[in-house]
Structure formats: C-alpha cells, structure tokens
Structure 1
C-alpha cells in the first residue's frame, strides 16, 4: 500500500474592545516564559581533571600541539584544564568533527591509527561535554512556543472544522536550528497580533451560523412628488395655501413598527398656529407647526405588508386680505422601519462546525447563560488543550452576555466568546507552567496535558485529539504501553502526514526546492510539475519507511522509492503507469535512498551544474551532523576564480590553498561520489564530453566508488553518526529548542533504544517521546563550577 500524503468595521471595533481584555494576560505569559527558575551544577570536575591529565593531554601533545600551540590561529594548548575545555566546548566539538572525518591530523602530520583516534574522540567528548546523566541530568528549558502558521491552520481545522487558508498570509515564521517551530525565534510582532484578531472574527463567522440581520426599510421622497402636489406646482418645499391633502403611496415590505418623519414650517396668520393632520389607515394625529421655523415631527406607525398610504392635510387655512394669511410648507417626508429579527436557525443552513460547537440550545433568554457555560467550558478546554478554569469560562460567558445586552442573538454571543478564546495566549501558545525541581533535585515532569500537547504537535502539528486529552485526564498517558500504543496509531493516522511534510522538508532542506531555478536550456526535462513531484517522492518515501517501521538506514540504502509515471519517465524508469504514486523497485538501478532523490540533488546544485561542495556540505550537516566551519572571507566563487580544467580539477586546485583544504577535504569527496547525477538529479555517465569519475578518497584514507560506495560508508562505518544525527534532529523538532551539550545523555539513550528495536524508525520516534527533554522540565543552562 502506498503511504498517503497530502498532495463590518464597527462590529470589528466592538469585538476588538471586548476581546482586548485578554491581551494583558498574553503579555504577562510572554514575560513569565523568559524567566529561568533554577540552576544546577555540572558533573564532578575532579574526575574530568584526572581524565584530562592522564588520557587526553598526552595525546594532544603527541598529535596536536605541534600545529595548535600558543600563538597559532587555533590554540588548543591554551585550555590547560578540563574546566577550560568544558567552557570552550564549541571549539573542542569542532575538533571532534575533524577527527571523525579524518581531516586532522593533516596528511603531512603525525599518523593516527583508528584505535587511538577513537580514544581521543571519546576523551575530548567526555570532558568538553561533561555531564552526569544519572546524578545531575538536565532536561533543558523550552521557551513558551507560539503556534507557527502550519500549526495554527491545523489546530483551527481540528478544533473548529474550518480550514483557514488565510493563515498562509501571516508573517513568515523565523527559523532556528533548521526548523520553524523553535520557541526562541517564534516572536509575536504587532502585525501578527492584528492578523490573529482578524482571523478570530472570520473563523467564528464561518464556524457559527447566525440568523440574518433584521431587514431595514428606509425611504425618503420629495414633497413635490406626492399625490395631490400638482395643485401646488409639484414644488419642493411644497407651499400649501388653502386646506388640502397630499398623499404618500408606498409598499410596506414587512409588518411591523415604522417611524414617519415630516419636516414642516408655517406662515402663521390669525390667532392659532398652523395645523396638519396625518392619517394612516384608521388612525390620525393633529400636529401644530411653528411659524417660520422648520421642525421635524416623528410619529410611530404600524403597517401590515403591502400597499399603504399616509395622508398629510393642511386643515386650518385662514386668510384676511391685507391682514393675515395662514399657510403650511412641507419640506420633506421620510419613513423608516426595522423588521422583527427572527431567532430561528434553519437546520439546513447550519454547518457541521456550528453543530460541533453549539451542542445545547437554550429554550429562552433565561437559559442563555447556562447553555453558554456548557458550550464554552467544552470549547475552551479543547482550545487551551487542558481543562479551562471557572474564571476563564466566566470571562467568556461575560463577553457573550455583552452581546446579548446589545440585542445580539445567542449564536452571536457565542461567536464573540470563541473569538476571544482564539486570541487567548492559552490558545496561541503551548503554555507550560514553570516548576521547581524536587528537594532531592529530581527534575519535574511536565503536566499530563502538556505532555499530550507535545506529543500531538510533534506527530501531527496540531492539537491533541479527544483520546489523547482523555489519556491526560485519566493519567494513563504516563503508562508506557498505553502511550506507545497511541503513538503507533498516530503514526499510521493520516494526520502524521503533517509531521512528514514539516519535519522532513526542513531536515532535508527540500523546502528550498521552491527557490531553486535550474537552467531549463540545459536541463530540458525539468519543469514545474517535476519540481512538485520531486518533493512528493521524498515525503512519500519517508512516510513509507515510517509507516512500515523499517530501519532508519533504509533512508540511505533503500532499493525502492515511490513514483508516478511522470517522475519515472524523468528518471528513465520504465513500466510505471498512472498519475498516482506507488512503490517501485530500484533493484538493478543506480538509484536508492535519499542521496539519489532528485529533490535532494537539485537543492544541492547550481542552476547550470552540479556542486560537489554543496552536496558534501549537505551530507555533513543533515546526515552526519558535522557541519564544516564557515568559509574564509574573500574566497572567490569557483566560476569567478582563475582555476582551470574539469570541475574535479578546479576543486583540487582550490584545495591547494591551506585555508580551504581542511573544509574541502571533508566536503568534496562526498560530492564527487554523487557526480553521476546532474543538477536536477538525472543519471549520467558523461559530462562535457568526458567520462565521469565518481571515485572519492576521504582524509582518513577511506576510498569509495560512486553513490553505492557512499551509501555503504554511511550505513557502515558512519552508521552511528547518521543515527545520532537523525535522533538529534528529531529531538530539536519535537521539543522546539536547540540541543545543548547536556542533551548528549538523551541522544545516547534514544540511539540505544532504537538499536535495541532493530534500528527501526518508529522506535527512534518513540524513544524521543520517552526521553527526559521531552517528558521533563529542565533549565535554560547548566553552568560549570
């Protein structure tokens, strides 16, 4: 079976003011998350000093100090105590990388046999990264993590049932340690907070159906257009100089209350004011109109639906020649009305998200609060990923009550409340309460709900499901068998595609495939469809290895992959038909494992040619976790240098510079072994008219021939380095923080448990979840004495 892979302003202002009550607690939690609560001592310094003097220092004198003494660019002799090495561990860890790769000592330096090399690596590692894994562990402290864009979208989908794609327009998430879910870099800029507020409104509006707003009728006409106005010349304002009537004929769109407005003034003559009679249906009202002053008169009227009339009559005309003349002037008429709003919710119009959230319905306004408490308790507890407190629920109900007091419907009140919950820090952040160690120094376990959240966002990039939350509530999440059974089910669940897409695409850097621009004049088979298929192959392949629980080394040496006909044709593989991806055997083919995936080969190439340097650097960083140091300043690019000959020859000339040799001697051999694959991952045997030489020799004397030899090296001599690299990458992604020297204890244990399970990948994932950094709360650092 092929593993599946996921191929109005005023109202807003009111809501912002209401949910703004949540923002102070958001800021407070951000401050709290940055505080450290305790410190711990490191491993016993006495043992380290003895190991330094008796084991490491003699080897350093024999093999290193001739070049790396005082006054040299890299002075190793200056660190004359174990504590100095421990404090300067970054430098010494780089020396470990050089020793493992065989670049130190250099070819012209003292010879170091394999056994002595292993003892030196172990000695440096034990001193530079000294930590007592039993008596003095540290699980590390994770900065409170904000949901990144992907996690936000997935969480909204699983919480509410709305696929909020505008989350893709949120500001980009910063990357730390290779991943975009690292707490230290997931800040909350003001523009993102604005986006969250807008999103809360839109999401709640999509999730909950509310009856349409009440119909509003408003009509205003010129007095000169009224029936009977022709007697007075159809003028506006309309001067009525004798008793007469004008009629406004209109159609009432609904039955209900209306307000009639008339603006009028009078020319008073005689001993009484101008009088007008307003008649509608069987009702009438007489009003007095002031002399020479316009006044607005408002009369409440009730009409049934249909054609209706309002008569406006001047009823007390008076005229005495050369003495007095009483007249009426009509300046304007207007009619407004608002229909009675229905509170009926048509079941046919209600989305599934509405039924999911509003599971109880009040029978009257007296039940609004009780129903809202039930609804919001359940919603907030799922949104916050732990039981909501009574105070939190009451605050949400109070927000809903404000809407009801403003004549909003029950559903509108719930909309406001859930919008507030969606901008709460307890939703936007994976909040973990700071704790102190026990009196005996035992590190505190994170809470059951915090553990459920960590597991879910690790494997699904989304909130815990009901089963995980129930396990947390019942306390069974701490039972190993129960938790491991759930983890196994989660890895088989389609939602684990999110883990594959997010972890793998960042670990292997194939997200960068969107930014590469191969020269299609040189590589005519490459197009946008192939670009997407490249990514899909790698993600589907990893999903297959994971769901079949194959050994982690399968990622390097698999004799199968997943293809459709288009990508198979691009690779030159026959007998693959159809658009769907399926498992394809690669036996008898030069391809196999991640190293021959076009996605990897393309992101590690230049637009018009391969780059052995980029490919070598990629393998060192992502498969062996031994990144080379940065290139020296002012080194020209290979194309702009004065070097000549084939690519291999130019790189060999480049390595002649001592400043370049140490790094390139690590990277170039790896890249040369991959030269049979061009810049878009197609296999070739010749380049620029010459046969390709894919042989490679490493600084320690190891020789390999092509990609097959490189694969054998990675799963043979360098197997444990590869396993430790994958374990560390998984731990970083799972905990949302970079690893430190004291995480060596956890990584050792993860690798060991994976090996005990036959090197199978699911055992490594399970070991990450069972590790101390994942299960417990430690400290931001572990200072040395």
Structure 2
C-alpha cells in the first residue's frame, strides 16, 4: 500500500499543481506580445522620425545605432542603452535644439514606454511604480501544519514533529520566499498523510446497516423436476418458470434491503424477468440483461415486520426455441442467482466512532449510497482543508480513490483514507494561495476574499 500511495499521491499532487498553475497562467496573459505590438505601432515610427537621422544605420553619432537596437529590441540585454535614451529625452538633451523636436505627448510616450519595459527587470527605476509581482505561495510551516491537522481532525497528532526544521528569514519561519519544498519534506508529508488517516479513520467497522450474506444453500425450491436446481454451492439455476424460497428471520421491525446477484442467458424477444415476492405478494420485478461475464446487484426495499417471513425469487418468462428460422429468436433463456444479501434494518443505531472519523465521514453509508456519502464527505472535508470552495471536478478526482479501493476489494473507509491522503499532500492544502486572477498590474490593490483573509 505504501509504494502505491506514493505513486498515486504524487500523480494527484502534480495534477492539482498543474491545474492551479495553468489557471494562473491563463488568467495572466503574457506582456511580451502586447509590448512588441505597441513598439512596432507607436514607438518605432516615432524613433525613425526623430532619432534614426543621427543614430541610424547610415549615420551613428557617438557610435550609437538606435535603428539597429530597434530592429529587435531587447530591453533586458540593452537596458543601459535604453535607460540612457529615456534620460536624454526626459531632460530634453535629445534631439538637439537644431533638429526636429517631438511634441510633448510624443516625448512622454517614448519615455514612459521605455520606463515601463525597463521596470520589468529593474525595480529600482524611480520613474515608474514598482510592481513586485505575484504573492509567493506560502507553505504551511511545521506549527501551522500541526495546528491545521488538529483543527481538521479534532485530535492533536503532532505529525510535523518529524519534519525537517523550517528555514528562517529575517527572524521569521513563515515567510513564503524561504519556505521551500525539499524531496525529504515531500516524503515526510506522504508518510504523515498515511499515518494521520490510519489514526483518524477507522476501517474495522462492521457493515452499517448490518449485513447478512445469505448462504446459497439456505434457499430451497418446491420444484421436483430439476428445472430449478442448485448447480453448485454458490449458484442456483432456473431453467424454466419457477422460484427459490427462504423463510428469513427478521429480528426487528424496520426497512431492509434485499440484494440479489443474478445474471441470465438471453434469448427471444424479451429480457428475462426476475420477480421478488414477500409472503406470496409481489414486491418488485426486474428485467435481467446481465450475462455471466458481468456482475450486477438487483436491490429492493422490504418492510416485513419482525418475525419469520417467506421470500421468493421467481423466474417469470421462460423461453426455448431452437427451430426458429430467425437466428435472433433462436435460443434458450435462463436465469441464474449466484448470491443474496439482506441488509438492515436501515434505521439501526450507528456504530460509535471517534470524533476524528466523524469529522471526515459525515455518516456511515448503506450499500446504495456509498458514492453519495463519499462525495458529501469529501466536499465538506476538502473545503476545510483547501480553505476555499472546491469544484465538482476536484471532488470527482478525489472520488476516483474511493472507486479504486472498492474495485480492489477494499472497504469504503479504506477508499476514504486514500482520498484524504491525497488531500493532505495536495498543494492546495500544503500551501496558502492568494492568487489574483487578473493580469498583473491591473489594479494596485486587491481585496482578499473571506477565505483568504480567514486563512
């Protein structure tokens, strides 16, 4: 389980981080194409008109060829040259008095454009507002991690006691720029997630509601011609109309679920019909389109009352035709029952569970609501862990861990452990996000959301 956990949680974390950074990139369009277009449209023609006569390819006074610089401007590489150009324009030293002069608006246009481009690389430029860029993502330090885990699960685990010491900057251990993520720390996060969920979520829980896997041999039949017979210890075959029956002892009142694992051989114009009766009264009829290669549980609700009650599973529409000229109508239709389970009563008292378990799983699900309870529980827990509302796409990704556990024969609780482990190693949990979805520099001030302010 350990190595598998590492693989799946790394994949989940990478997916979350890629999605988040992708959204940030999509919301922040690159400034380079826009600046280049502005340069070619507004700046180059103006410089050609007032600068290239003295500082161009044909004539380069002071060994300065602005025409060559402007052919493919690189404000990072040639920052000193462009800075000098802006200063000469700003102090009206260029163009010389005896040369063509730009208008005041044109002079401002040139200097502001150059200042803006240089400010992308030099925050010391006094002529433009300093744009420090995006807020650094702040990783939870050890104390914050312990406190967050305590608040999420209601138990003081102190899982960060084994983590490497946090880096300190300017005397503080919660500065985003120094809270790096080393490989050893990531490994500690993975191990801590596994240990936390092992302590917080119980897996040794009896089924709720109570379940009784009815042994196949407990069913019987009143057919004496072999048309309904026990094929082996785990399979009843119904080869013509007939039924299998049981007198089942219901120990308490309440609602129960009868779960039937059945399949059929298909033939003729209709699907095989499986009917369930309680004390001779029809309860529900199913059409069985599942063949032997697949598994499917047919589930119905019963409310029999306390005591012994007779339950029957009947095959209602036998079909045999081996002589039809139509190949689609030839064949032998039969019904097979390979397992039954009684679940309930549905209102049985919930098992007593620790607070940490109840903080993650909102209630113990019955057989028909496992995915619904998993979705509700993960939505509630992930919203707290990520410190923001979660999307349906994120919840669906987490649900795959529950599905994977169930497909491998694990329990619902084991699946929830995997999903919560994925949450605890997600960058949305390990880091506090304050991402502005607007392009950088649109507004000098942005109000934090209630979620960002609270976290």
TM-score, normalization: structure 2? 0.44
Q: Highest Rg: 1 or 2?
A: 1
Whichever structure has more strand as a proportion of its residues is 2
TM-score, normalization: structure 1? 0.26
